[in-house]
A and B are shown apart, each in its own frame.
Chain A
Amino acid sequence: MAEERHEDFPAPGTGIIIIIFFVAFIMFYFLNWKWLSMVWNIG
């Protein structure tokens, strides 16, 4: 099944790069919320 899928998608390498990009994006985004939650409370 996985190989068939590769044939469908004209750019599997790009797919991998995009997934890495997206994971990096999500991680850095939520890491920043974590850092923010550690500072003094501001209301």
Chain B
Amino acid sequence: MPITSPETYWWKPADKEEKIWISVAIVWCLILFTMMPLWHFVGGQNPSVEPMKIRPDDFDKVTGAFIEKYKIGEESGIPVVKPPDGADVYLKGQMWNWIPILELKKGVNYKFHISSVDLMHGFSLQPMNMNFQIVPGHDNILNLTPTASGTYHIICNEFCGVGHHTMVGKIVVKD
């Protein structure tokens, strides 16, 4: 019984069936492990590879300069920015907006810098459903290539205070 001490000698070899299952499980765990490095070579989606620190104040300034340089309009009081192909793109999370609204081109690679100037936020691109943790003081650098045109929204999926559920941003991808 599992509630009493086992008989004195319990270090017994496993049955054949148990051995088979354990072997299958080990092989499966190795496959699970191999998929991750493999995807770095064959897959197109891998998270940030460049850990970088940036002070929230500095990030705010850089984003401000980026918006000023490439601003093409405004929507609901939020600047709309169209960066040139392949540019560095800055996206700022703050309570409770994603700034700016971005206009991108399909099939072009952009180097995204995403950070927060206050609390933690969750970058969640919909309806693609891609999610990244946005941490103040750290720059989440992502080389993103929009693969289809359309209007996408960024919601926040990390609790950031009482207005958390109103935090929505936008990315428009054109052909």
Contact = CB atoms under 8 A, between A and B. Distances in A.
Interface residues of B, number: 25
A39 B145 contact: no
B47 A42 contact: yes
B52 interface: no
A8 interface: yes
A25 B47 CA distance: 24
B167 interface: no
A25 B17 CA distance: 20
Contact of A15 (B17, B44, B45, B146): B17
Given A41-B144, A41-B147, A43-B109, A36 B17 contact: no
Nearest to A35: B129
Given A8-B16, A33-B35, A39 B24 contact: no
Contacts of B45: 36-37, 39-42
A43 B44 contact: yes
Contacts of A9: 17
Interface residues of A, number: 19
A40 B146 contact: yes
B16 to A, nearest CB: 7
A28 interface: no
A42 B32 contact: no
Contacts of B144: 40-42
Given A15-B17, A40-B144, A41-B144, 17 more contacts: A8-B16, A9-B17, A10-B17, A25-B28, A26-B28, A29-B32, A33-B39, A37-B45, A39-B129, A39-B147, A40-B145, A41-B145, A41-B147, A42-B47, A42-B130, A42-B142, A42-B143
B145 A43 contact: yes
Contacts of A43: 44, 46, 109, 143, 145
Q: Please list the 8 inter-chain residue pairs (A to B) with the smallest Cβ-Cβ separation, ordered nearest first.
A: A41-B44, A41-B145, A43-B143, A39-B128, A42-B45, A39-B130, A9-B17, A40-B147
